[in-house]
Structure 1
Amino acid sequence: MPEGEKLVNYYSCSYWHNRLPRQGWLYLSVNYLCFYSFLLGKETRVIVRWRDVTLLDCTNALIFPDSIRVSTRDHEHYFSMLLRKKETYELMEQLANMAMKQLINDEEFSEDKDLLTKVSKKVPKKPSFLKRDLDARAHSDMYRSKFRLPLREKLDGSTSCSLWAPYKKAYVSGTLYISLNYICFDSKIANLVSVVCPLRTVQSVERVDSVKGNLIVKNALFICTSHVNSSNTFLFIDVGDRDFVINKLSEMLGKSIPTKNALPDNMVLGSARLGSRSNSVTDDKCDDMSLSSLSVGSISDNNGSSFSETLEAETTTVPLRSLYIGFEDDMDEGDCEKRKEALWDRHWSEYGRGVTMYRTVETLRLVLEGLPDTVRREVWLIFSGAINEQATNPGYYEQAVIAGLKRGGPANDEIERDLHRSLPEHPAFQSERGISALRRVLCAYAWRNPAIGYCQAMNIVASVLLVYCNEEESFWLLAALSERLLPDYYNTRVVGALVDQGVLEDLILDHMPGLHTKLSDLGIISLISLSWFLTLFLSVMPFEAAVHVVDCFFYDGARVVFMVALAILDVNKEALENCDDEGEAMMVLADYLGCINTPKCRYGKRKSSVCEDKQAESSELRTMVNIIDIIEAAYRGFGFITNVAIERLRVKHRLRVVQTLEDTVMRNTLRTVGPDCILSEEDLKELVIYVRGEQILGGEDKEVRQRNNSGNPLTQEGYALGYETFRQLFLAVSPWGQGDRSESLVTSIFNMLDVDGTHVLSFRSVAWLYGVLCSGDFARKLRLFYYLHLAFPPSLEDVDKPLKNEENAAEVEEEAAVEAEEYFDYLDEDYGKGKVDLDISDDQDAETSGTSPKKEYCDDFTGLATIHSRDYRLFEQRFLPTMTQEQFINMWRTVYSFFAMETNQEIFTSLSRVGTLLLQIGEVGRRVKEIASRSNSESQARLPGEQSSENVFQLEEMRGALEECLGSGNCTTEESEQALQSTEESPDSENTSAVPCDTGKNGKMLHNVIKNDTGEEKDKNTEECEQNASVDESDCGSSEHRHASMSQPSSQEWSISFEQFLANVANEEKLVDFFERPVKLAQEVQKLRKRHAVCTSVSGSVASTPS
C-alpha cells in the first residue's frame, strides 16, 4: 500500500477463490479493498481500488450464498461468512460512493479534525478514527437530507425525546438533532411531525423541571424563538442527558453569529436575532409554566400590504408574476384560489409560519392540493432549505451578479444563446425586464459554481423560479436544486441525470416488469428520462401543470420526480405495450403530457415534438387530465418509494455511469492525442491510467491542478499533471531521469511545457514529450535537448519547484530563460515574413496574457511558438538559433550527468572528444568573426580599386589565425580539418556569424573559401556554401536574410549551431547508442504502478483499460 494509505476497518470473512472459500481478513481503506488469507501454506491476496468498482451488491445465489459481490471491469469477487454483513456492506458502499464522487468532482478525502476536539458521551468505541469519521459523515448526510440544511452543516449529536404538539395537545415521540447552527426534531412515525429551528432564531433555552397540571414532565427543555411579528415555542421532555444537551446548546449559541440583514418579517424567516447572546441559556426553573401558554405565535393579518411594502424595500426586483397582475385579473381564477389561500392562513395560524413551523401530514395534504400563487415562493424557500442559505449570506447575490457579469467567458456566451428560449410562452419573458433578470441569475450562479458554470435546462428551471420569486430568492433556489436536491445534474456530462435514468429503469423493472421489457426493446427510457428529469417536467407539460410537480418536488424531494414518472408510465402502460417502434411510443407519451392541465391555464401549452394537427386531433379525442389527479395517483400508487431508497439506488448506478464515462473519456483522449505523438496505443493507455490514478490518490500538486483546471474531470482536460506527478513519472521512466542534474531537468522541461503559466501540464503535451524521449530517433531527442538548454537552461544550483502563485511563477520562468532572452533581443522585428505567426485572439483575457510566455519566447525561431499553439509536429521542423559558450557548457554538463554511473572509459573519451571539438569550433568562429569584422571596418576607408589587392592578404591573415587557434589544442589533423570546414565565412561578407550548415550529410562541408586567392573564386565558393547551408528555406526565407537577422549584438561572440552539435554527436557511436536507445514506456509505467501498489499480487483488480 502507499505510505499515506489509512485503514478504516477490517472484518473476518471468506473469499471465494475458484469456487472454494478461503478464510481470511477483509481490510477496507480509503482507496482500497484488500483481502489476505494464509491457509494450509497457500497465500491469497486481493487488492481492489474503489475507483475500479463497477458494481457492489448483496447476493444469495446457490454457489455464493449470503455474499457481498464486488465487480470490476475484469473480475467479480465474492465475500461471505461476514459476522456483521450489514455494517460491512454499508461501509463498502460509502467508500465506493466517495471514490465515484472523486472521479466526478476531483475531490480529495480529508479527515474531519473537529471530531478530535468534540466532547462526546455514550459514543461506542471505533476501531479507528477514520471509521468514526465516516460514520459521522454518513449521519451528517442523512441529517442534511432529511431537514434540507446547507452542505457545510455537520451533525453534532442526537438524543431521544418527546415534543409537545400544541395543535393536538399531545406529546410526540421522536429524536432531537443538534448541529452548529440548527436544532431539529423528527418523529418516530414518518411524516407525523418535524421541526427545523435555526439557532439564529433562538432567543432563550431553559430547563423545565415541572409543568403545572402535568406530573409526567421530566428532564424538559424549553426553547423560545422570536421574530418581529411571530414567535414559536418548543417544549421537549424526556430529553436524554439533558444537562449535556444544555451545555452543547450553550456552546452552539455562543458560536452562532447573528445575521445582520433581516428578511421580510411577515415571512418569519428567522433572519434577525433578538436579545443578548449571553442570556440565551438560563438555569432558571419555570415552575409556573402551563401547557396552554405553549402556543404558536400570532401572525399579522395584514399580510398582503405588509408583504408588498417590505419586499419592495429590501429587494431590487419583485417576482415577475407581480408585474402581470393585470393580465391575470383578466382570467377567472374562481373560488379555488381563494379557498386555498384561506386554508393556508388557517394552517399557519395553527401550526406556525416560517422556517420554524410544525411540518405535519396536514402540510403535505395542502401541498398536494396545489399551492396558491401568493404563498408559492414562501413554501418553496422554506421546504427546499434555500431560505437558510439566503438568511446566512446577506449581500452575496449582489456580489455574485457583479462578478458573474464582469467575468464573461464561455458560460456567459451559452447563457446569452439560451435566454430567449426560456419559457417563451410566458409574458414575463417576452420583454427585456424578464430576460435581464434571468441573465443576472444564471451569470451569478455560473460565477458561484464554476465547476458547473451553465448547463442547458438551467434556463428553463430558473425562468420558472423567477415567475414566483425575486432574483435573490431564485438564485438560492437554483443553488439548492443544483447542489443538494439534484446533485451532479447540471454539468457538462449530466452525470446525475444519467444516474437517475438507471434508477428509473430499476424502479420500472421492480414494479412494472412487463412494461420494462417493452421499453427496453424500444430503447426510449433514456430518451424520456433526461427531458423529464433535467427540467422537472417543465419542458414536456403545460407550464402551470408542471409547476404543481415543482411544488411537490421542493416539499418532498427527488422521490417526487420518480413517482410522477412511474404514474405517467402506469397510466399509459397498455398503449405503450402495443407500440411497434420508439416513434409511436414517444407520440403516445407526448399526446398524454400535452393533455395535462390545471383548472386554470393562463399561458397556453408547451408544444411537444408532435406536429400541431396531430395535437389538435388528439385533444379532441382525449379528455384533459388534471395534474392534481396524476400527483395523487403517484402518491397513492408509489408513495412507498423513499428518498433513502432513491439515494441507495443512486449509489449503485453511480458506479456504473461514472466508470462508463471514464472509459469513454479515455478512448476519446487516446483518439485525439494519438496523432500528435509517436507513442503506440498501448503506451498511451498505460500513461493515461497512471496519470488518472495519481490524480485520484491526490498529492502535493492536487491543489494547484484543481485551482487551474476549469474543465470537468470527466473530460480530456481532466487528465492534467501537476509538478509532483510529472516529476515522479520523469525520474522513473525517462532515460534523462538519471544523474545529478535530473531534478534540474525536471523543472526545466516542466517550465518549457507549461506555456500557459498554470503550473499544470496537459496530457497532450506530456504524451508528445514521452513520444520524443522514448523513441529511437536520436535527432529528435538532440533537437529537444538543444532547445531546452537554449530557452530553458537547467539551473546550475539547487532547483526549486515551480511556485504556486502567478507572480513567482513568472519570476521563475524569467530566471530560467534569462540567457535565451538576452540572446533573442537582437532579432529584427521584420524577420517574420514567410513564418507561421502565433494566433492570439483579440479577446484574450488580461490575466491569461500575464501568465503566457513573453514575446521573445514566442518567436518562431525558438520553437516555443509551435509549443504554445500545441503544434508539436511543426516544432520539430523549426530552425534553431546558435548557442553561446555559457549555454553550451551548461548543456554539456547535463550530458556528462547521464553517464555519471558509467564505467566504460570509451564513453568518456567520446564525450571529451566531442566537447573539445565543439569548443574549438566555436572558438574558430569567434576568431574568424573578429578578423572579418576588423577587415570590414578597414575596407570601408579604402578606395574600390585597392580592395581587390587587399583580399589575398586578408585571407592569408585569417587562415593563419585559424591554424594558430586549432594548433594550440590537442585535436588531431582530421579534427582540425573538420573545424576548418565549419567556418565557411568570407572576409568581406556583411554577416560574420557562423553559418549553421548541414554538417549531418556525411560530415563534409565546403572549406575552400579560405584557400582561394582571387575574389572571383571566393564569391563562387561562397554561393555554393550558402546553397548547402540553407535549412528549411521555405520557412526561414532566403539564406542571406537569415544570416542578417541572426547576427548577434557582439560580432566577436562565441557560438555553435544545432547542426554542428548534431553532426559531432553523430560521429560518436557510443553517444549515438545512448540517444538512440528506445524505452518501452508501457512496461516502465507498469513497473512504476507496481511500486505504488496499484496492481494486485495474485487475483486483485488492476487498473483496466476500456475495451
Structure 2
Amino acid sequence: MSLLSTIRNKAAQLSLFDPSERPSRDQVFRQRFRLPDTATLQAQISAEFSIASSNFYYPGRLFLSEAHLVFEATDEHICSFVLPLIGIRRVERMASKSYLFALSVTTFHGLKLNLQFVGLRSQIEQFCDRLKANLRDSVADMRSLKKFLGTVYSEYMLAEKREHVPEGGLGQLFKYPGDAKKLRDKSKMRLWAEYMRDHGRNITIVRLQTFHKLIRVGLPNRLRGEIWELTSGSIYQRMANPNLYTSLQKEYAGRKSMAIEDIEKDLNRSLPEYPAYQSDEGIDRLRRVLTMYSWRNPEVGYCQAMNIVVASLLIYMNEEQAFWCLSTLCDTLLPGYYSQTMYGTLLDQRVFEALVEKTMPILWDHLVKSDIQLSVVSLPWFLSLFINSMPLTYAFRVLDVFFLEGNKVLFQVGLAILRINGEELLDVSDDGAFISILKDYFAKLDDSAHPNSHNEKLRNVTKFQELMVVAFKEFSVITDDMVAEQRKKHKNHVLEGIESFTKRTQLRNLHHVGGLSQPQLSIVYDRFYQALQSSRLGLGPVQTSMDFETFQAFLAGIARWAREPHDFQRRLFHRWDEELRGSLALQDVVAGLGSIMQRDIMASMAYFFEIYDEDGDGKVDREGILQMSEGLLYITRNMADPLSPAASPNSSLTDDKPLDVGDKYLSSVSAFIKRAFEYASPDDGEDDNLIEPVESGASASSSKVKANAALDPSHPLHITLPTFRMVVLADEALEQFFAADFAASIKLLPAKGGREKGTLRDLFDSLVSDSMRVAGEVKRRIDEMERQAREQAEANAAAANTSVANTTADDDDDDDDAVGDYDRDVLAGAEVEDLSRAEAAAARPRAPSVDDMLS
C-alpha cells in the first residue's frame, strides 16, 4: 500500500487535491448533512416547518436529493431533520391563509410534518414536481424498510407489539460499562421515549433543541449505538448498502493480507479491561469488523488505534453498524487520522498547541521553557478519542457529543482538561510529572469537583460534570471556522515534517544502497518521485514504481546522454527490473544507479556487457556486438568532455553548453567494432580465421562479404566478457570511459534554483490540505443560501400576501395545480385531503424550553 496513495485518495475524497478548487454544491450538501457519497442536491427552497401536533414554526430551507428530504432552520441548532423518502407514508396538500402552498407529510411512524413554502410559484412547482418523481422512484425500496427498522432498538422500544429484540452490541451479553443506576439509565430512557413519541424516531426523528440537550446529558446504554450512527450519518450509509457487509464476508473468507496480520497482533490489546474482549465472542466480532474494513478500503487497511475505536463501538452496536460507523469516522469525520502517515492527527496536534498558546498563554510559556512536549499526552487523546485516557463511561459521554457536533469537541475537551489542571501543571518541569498529574485527574473524574464547598449542589458536581461545563461553555468560542483557520496556517509546517519522516523511513528501509552516499540517495529519492508526479495524469492512483516512459524522464534528469531516446535506455530499464515486474521501484533505481556509478573498471565493463547479454549465457552475438557499439556511440556523442567545465562536479545538467568531444570516442568505437569481430569466436567452436583470402573468380560483392565476418550470416560468432575486456583495454579512450567517464556521466545534483515544481514536497503540498476547509466552505455556502432566501422572501412577500386571497379558492379546486393532485399517485392508497384552515393559522410562539424535562 502506498503512503502517497493513501494521502492523495483521502484528499481527493474531500476535494482537497487542488487547494484553489472550491467544493461542489453536492459536496457541501453531503458534508453538511452527512449523507452518502451518492447523494446529490436536486432542489432547494425556503420554507417554514412545524410539527402538526404543536404550534411552533421554524423558518429555514428545504433540500431535496434522490433519496432524502432535508430541513434546516435558520438557526441550525433549533430544528433540523433528514428524512429518507422511503420513510414517507403520505403527502397531502393543506390549506394556508399565509402561504401560497403548504404540504403535510406523514412519516412511516405517523408523525405529521407541516411544510409551508416561501417563494415564487414556479419555484415551488418545480420543487414539488421533483419531490413527486423521487417519491415514485423510492416506492420499490420501501419493501426493505420494515426489515431495516427491525435492526434499531427504538422501533422495538416504542412498538405496540414487541416481537423480536434487535441484535445489539456486546453490552447486551457482557453488561454495559458503569453503574446503570448511578448513570440514571432508566430516567434517560424515559426521556428519550417521550421525545421519540412526539418527534419521531430513528430515520424519521426531528432534531430540536431538546435532542441536543438529551445527548449532552448522556445517552442511555441501549440507545447509544443507534444515536451514534444517526448523528454520525452512518445509518444512511447502512440503508444505502444493506447487503455489503455480508457480501464482503463471503467474498474475502479465508483470504490473508498484511493488514490482517497487523490486526491479529492488536486484538488482545483492545480494551482488555472490558470482559467481552477476554472472550472469543468479543475478539471474533472485533476481528471481523476490522478485517472487512481493511478489504473494503485497502488504501487505509488497518492503522493504529482503529482497534480501540471499533472495540468501543461494538459495545453498543452490532457488527454491521460498527462497520459503517468506522467507515464514516475514517472517511468523513476524522479524515487523515487513521492512515499510514496520520497526517490529520499530526495537523490537529499543531492546531491544538496553537489554541493552547492563544487561550492559555501562561501555561504555554511554561511548557516551552520546561521543554515539555504537549503532544506526548494530547496525541493519544485525539487518536483514541479519549477512550484510552478516561474511564469508559466518561469517554463515551465525550463520544456522544463528538458524533453530534464534530471534531471541534476534541479541541474543546482537551483545552478544558488543561484549564482545570492549569495550576498544578505550572508546578511541573518534566514530561513525567505532566503525564502523572493528568493521569491522576482522569482516575478521579467521579469525585466531587468542590468537596469543601458549603453549597450542597456544588459538592454534588463531579469533576467530569465540571469538565463538560468548561468545555462547552468557556470554550464554546472554539468553532469549526477557527479550527479550519488554524489548520490552514500550520499545514505547511506539518507537511514538511511528514515529507521528511516519509523520506527518511523509505531510505532507511532500502536493503541495498549501491554505494551511494546519503546526499546522493536523497537526490535520487526526490527525482524519483518528481518523475512519478510529472507523469501522472488526472486523479488516478499515485504509483510508487515507474514504467518505461517515466524511467526515460527520470534518466534524462540525471544524465545528459539520456535526453534522446535510444535502445540502450530500454536495455537499461530491463536490466534494472530484475524481478521482471515491468516497472522499477525506488530500490531498483538505487541499485541500478549504484552499479553504473561504481569506480571499478572491471565491474563497470562487466555490467555494460551484461546489458547486452540478453539470455545470460555469457555471450554476445553478431547483432549484439553491433548494438553494443551503437550504445557506446549513443552515450559518448551526447556526453560532455570529462575535462570540460560542464563535466565538473558542481555543474548542472541544465547548463546547455556546447559539447567538445571531437573524434576521440568516434574513432575508438570504430576500432572497437573492428577488433570485436577480429577476436570474436565462431559459434560452431572451430578455430578458423575469420578473415579468409578471397577465392579467385568470385564476384566483388561476395568477396566483400567473405572478407567481412560481420556481414556474413553463414558464420555465426560471438564475444565473451574476457574478449570484450581485452578489446576495451586495447583502446585508451574506452578504458577511460569505463574507468571514470561512464560513472561521471550520471550527475546526482539538486535541481537548479532549489526545489522544482512536481517534487515530493509539492506533491504533499497539493494533495493534503486541512480537512476542515470543506467544513468552512459548507458554512459559507449555507450562509449564502440563507441570505439569498431571505432576500427572495422579502421581495416576494408583498406579492404573496396580495394574491393569496384570490389564489386559495382557485387552488382548492384546480386539478391541474402542481401540488394539488400529484400526491394521489405518490404511494398506494394515498389521497389528497384538505386540512383545517384553523389548524394551519395557529400562532407562532417561541420554541419551548426543556430545562424542566432534563432536571
TM-score by length of 2: 0.72
**Alignment CA distance shift 1:335-1:754 (3 Å):** closer
For residues 138 and 447 of structure 2, the distance between their equivalents in structure 1, rounded to whole angstroms, comes to: 45
SS at match of 1:407: coil
Q: Aligned residue for 1:563?
A: 412
Tell me whether 1:638 sits opposite 2:487 in the alignment.
Answer: no
Q: Aligned residue for 2:268?
A: 420
Q: Aligned residue for 1:433?
A: 281
Q: Aligned residue for 2:671?
A: 913
Tell me whether 1:785 sits opposite 2:608 in the alignment.
Answer: yes
**Alignment CA distance shift 1:539-1:431 (3 Å):** same
Gaps of 5+ in 2: 449-458, 639-658, 695-714, 767-855
Select which of 1068, 1074, 1084 maps to 2:731.
Answer: 1068
8 A contact 1:686–1:1082 mirrored in 2? yes
Letter in 2 for 1:377: G
* Cα distance, 1:572 vs structure 2: 1.1
**Alignment CA distance shift 1:904-1:517 (3 Å):** closer
8 A contact 2:47–2:115 mirrored in 1? no
8 A contact 1:219–1:239 mirrored in 2? no
**Alignment CA distance shift 1:303-1:737 (3 Å):** same
For residues 536 and 645 of structure 1, the distance between their equivalents in structure 2, rounded to whole angstroms, comes to: 20
Q: Aligned residue for 1:358?
A: 206
SS at match of 1:477: helix
Within 5 Å, give how 1:166-245 maps onto structure 2: 166=52, 168-202=54-88, 211-212=94-95, 214-220=96-102, 222=103, 224=105, 226-227=107-108, 229-230=109-110, 233-239=113-119, 241-245=123-127
Tell me whether 1:750 sits opposite 2:573 in the alignment.
Answer: yes
Q: Aligned residue for 1:458?
A: 306
Letter in 2 for 1:1057: T
For residues 378 and 336 of structure 2, the distance between their equivalents in structure 1, rounded to whole angstroms, comes to: 15
Letter in 2 for 1:235: L
Q: Aligned residue for 1:347?
A: 195
**Alignment CA distance shift 1:1088-1:541 (3 Å):** closer
Number of aligned residues: 701
Tell me whether 1:323 sits opposite 2:160 in the alignment.
Answer: no
Within 5 Å, give how 1:75-474 maps onto structure 2: 104-105=7-8, 134-137=21-24, 139-151=25-37, 153-155=39-41, 158-166=44-52, 168-202=54-88, 211-212=94-95, 214-220=96-102, 222=103, 224=105, 226-227=107-108, 229-230=109-110, 233-239=113-119, 241-246=123-128, 248-249=130-131, 259=141, 262=144, 267=149, 303=159, 306=162, 308-309=164-165, 311=166, 318-324=168-174, 333=181, 336-403=184-251, 406-474=254-322
For residues 447 and 219 of structure 2, the distance between their equivalents in structure 1, rounded to whole angstroms, comes to: 12
For residues 332 and 475 of structure 1, the distance between their equivalents in structure 2, rounded to whole angstroms, comes to: 27
* Cα distance, 1:246 vs structure 2: 3.8
For residues 608 and 546 of structure 2, the distance between their equivalents in structure 1, rounded to whole angstroms, comes to: 22
* Cα distance, 1:111 vs structure 2: 13
Deviations 1:838-872 (A, max 9, x none): xxxxxxxxxxxxxxxxxxxxxxxx5xxxxxxxxxx
Letter in 2 for 1:910: S
Letter in 2 for 1:385: G
Tell me whether 1:514 sits opposite 2:362 in the alignment.
Answer: yes
Within 5 Å, give how 1:958-969 maps onto structure 2: 962=688, 964-968=689-693
For residues 266 and 401 of structure 1, the distance between their equivalents in structure 2, rounded to whole angstroms, comes to: 19
For residues 583 and 335 of structure 1, the distance between their equivalents in structure 2, rounded to whole angstroms, comes to: 33
- Identity over the aligned pairs, expressed in percent? 26
SS at match of 1:596: coil
**Alignment CA distance shift 1:571-1:109 (3 Å):** closer
Select which of 309, 317, 327 maps to 1:479.
Answer: 327
Q: Aligned residue for 1:677?
A: 514
SS at match of 1:262: helix
SS at match of 2:620: coil
Letter in 2 for 1:217: Y
Within 5 Å, give how 1:505-584 maps onto structure 2: 505-522=353-370, 523-584=372-433
**Alignment CA distance shift 1:592-1:908 (3 Å):** closer
Tell me whether 1:665 sits opposite 2:498 in the alignment.
Answer: no
8 A contact 1:154–1:179 mirrored in 2? yes
SS at match of 2:204: coil
* Cα distance, 1:1072 vs structure 2: 4.1
Letter in 2 for 1:1081: K
* Cα distance, 1:562 vs structure 2: 1.6
**Alignment CA distance shift 1:260-1:904 (3 Å):** farther
* Cα distance, 1:256 vs structure 2: 6.9
For residues 72 and 748 of structure 2, the distance between their equivalents in structure 1, rounded to whole angstroms, comes to: 57
For residues 235 and 395 of structure 1, the distance between their equivalents in structure 2, rounded to whole angstroms, comes to: 34
For residues 747 and 143 of structure 2, the distance between their equivalents in structure 1, rounded to whole angstroms, comes to: 61
For residues 111 and 429 of structure 1, the distance between their equivalents in structure 2, rounded to whole angstroms, comes to: 35
SS at match of 2:60: strand
**Alignment CA distance shift 1:743-1:263 (3 Å):** farther
**Alignment CA distance shift 1:513-1:759 (3 Å):** farther
For residues 315 and 355 of structure 2, the distance between their equivalents in structure 1, rounded to whole angstroms, comes to: 33
Deviations 1:187-246 (A, max 9, x none): 22240111212344456777x5xx43x3111244x374654x556545141046223434
**Alignment CA distance shift 1:552-1:356 (3 Å):** same
Q: Aligned residue for 1:761?
A: 584
* Cα distance, 1:579 vs structure 2: 2.2
Q: Aligned residue for 2:794?
A: none
Deviations 1:970-1028 (A, max 9, x none): xxxxxxxxxxxxxxxxxxxxxxxxxxxxxxxxxxxxxxxxxxxxxxxxxxxxxxxxxxx
Q: Aligned residue for 1:734?
A: 559
For residues 725 and 135 of structure 1, the distance between their equivalents in structure 2, rounded to whole angstroms, comes to: 31
8 A contact 1:269–1:354 mirrored in 2? no
For residues 1074 and 335 of structure 1, the distance between their equivalents in structure 2, rounded to whole angstroms, comes to: 83
Letter in 2 for 1:105: R
For residues 596 and 507 of structure 1, the distance between their equivalents in structure 2, rounded to whole angstroms, comes to: 24
Q: Aligned residue for 2:444?
A: 595
For residues 236 and 526 of structure 1, the distance between their equivalents in structure 2, rounded to whole angstroms, comes to: 51
8 A contact 1:230–1:299 mirrored in 2? no
Letter in 2 for 1:721: M
Q: Aligned residue for 2:643?
A: none
**Alignment CA distance shift 1:205-1:907 (3 Å):** farther
* Cα distance, 1:910 vs structure 2: 3.3
Gaps of 5+ in 1: 1-99, 113-129, 271-297, 313-317, 600-621, 710-719, 792-819, 821-861, 863-879, 931-960, 970-1051, 1096-1100, 1103-1107
8 A contact 1:883–1:1057 mirrored in 2? yes
User: Larger deviation: 191-200 or 1077-1086?
Assistant: 1077-1086
For residues 332 and 730 of structure 1, the distance between their equivalents in structure 2, rounded to whole angstroms, comes to: 68
For residues 1088 and 724 of structure 1, the distance between their equivalents in structure 2, rounded to whole angstroms, comes to: 25
8 A contact 1:385–1:480 mirrored in 2? yes
Higher RCO (CA < 8 A, seq sep 6+): 2
Letter in 1 for 2:48: S
8 A contact 1:701–1:722 mirrored in 2? no
**Alignment CA distance shift 1:399-1:168 (3 Å):** same
For residues 322 and 111 of structure 1, the distance between their equivalents in structure 2, rounded to whole angstroms, comes to: 37
For residues 579 and 129 of structure 2, the distance between their equivalents in structure 1, rounded to whole angstroms, comes to: 54
SS at match of 2:80: strand
SS at match of 2:478: coil
SS at match of 1:162: strand
Q: Aligned residue for 1:891?
A: 628
* Cα distance, 1:363 vs structure 2: 0.5
Tell me whether 1:1081 sits opposite 2:720 in the alignment.
Answer: no
Letter in 2 for 1:559: K
SS at match of 2:61: strand
8 A contact 1:370–1:548 mirrored in 2? yes
TM-score by length of 1: 0.57
**Alignment CA distance shift 1:264-1:219 (3 Å):** closer
RMSD: 4.1
SS at match of 1:185: strand
